[in-house]
Amino acid sequence: MSSDSKQLYFVWAPDYTDPEALSRRLAVRPKHLEGVRALEEQGTLRAGGAAVVPPEEIGNATERKFVGSHLILEAGSLGDVRKIVENDIYYQGNVWDREKIVIAQYLPLKI
């Protein structure tokens, strides 16, 4: 980590599962990517991406079924991470299921 006062946090943000969830995700995806790029440039976003169902589970190698997003963020507090999550367009645009978001301190394995 770049600073002793900052910690790593893991965020699991599952998507809503209603039939319109994917269209909401795709509609705001460009703005979401702008935001994560800014977090990456600031050094706040350490890793992240979309979670998808493996193609063999859905029987179609070209289709993607999104189930959520994960982030590893470096921040000063849990409150800072919550603000980052709540300011994301996926949160504001009802892509992420607000009731099921998990934020935990992340302790990387050191081998």
Residue 93: left (phi > 0), alpha (psi -120 to 50), or beta?
Answer: alpha
What is the domain partition of the chain in residue ranges?
7-105
Three-class SS state of 3 = coil
The pTM score is: 0.87
Q: What is the pLDDT at residue 55?
A: 78
**Residue 80 in tokens:** 């800072």
pLDDT digits (tens, 9 = 90+) for 7-35: 999 999 999 999 999 999 999 999 999 99
**Residue 35 phi, psi dihedral angles, 5° rounding:** -65, -45
Residue 97 pLDDT > 50, yes or no?
yes
Cα separation, 110 vs 53, whole angstroms: 29
Closest by CA position to 7, among listed 109, 105, 110, 108: 105
**What would the CATH number be for the domain defined by 7-105?**
3.30.70.1060
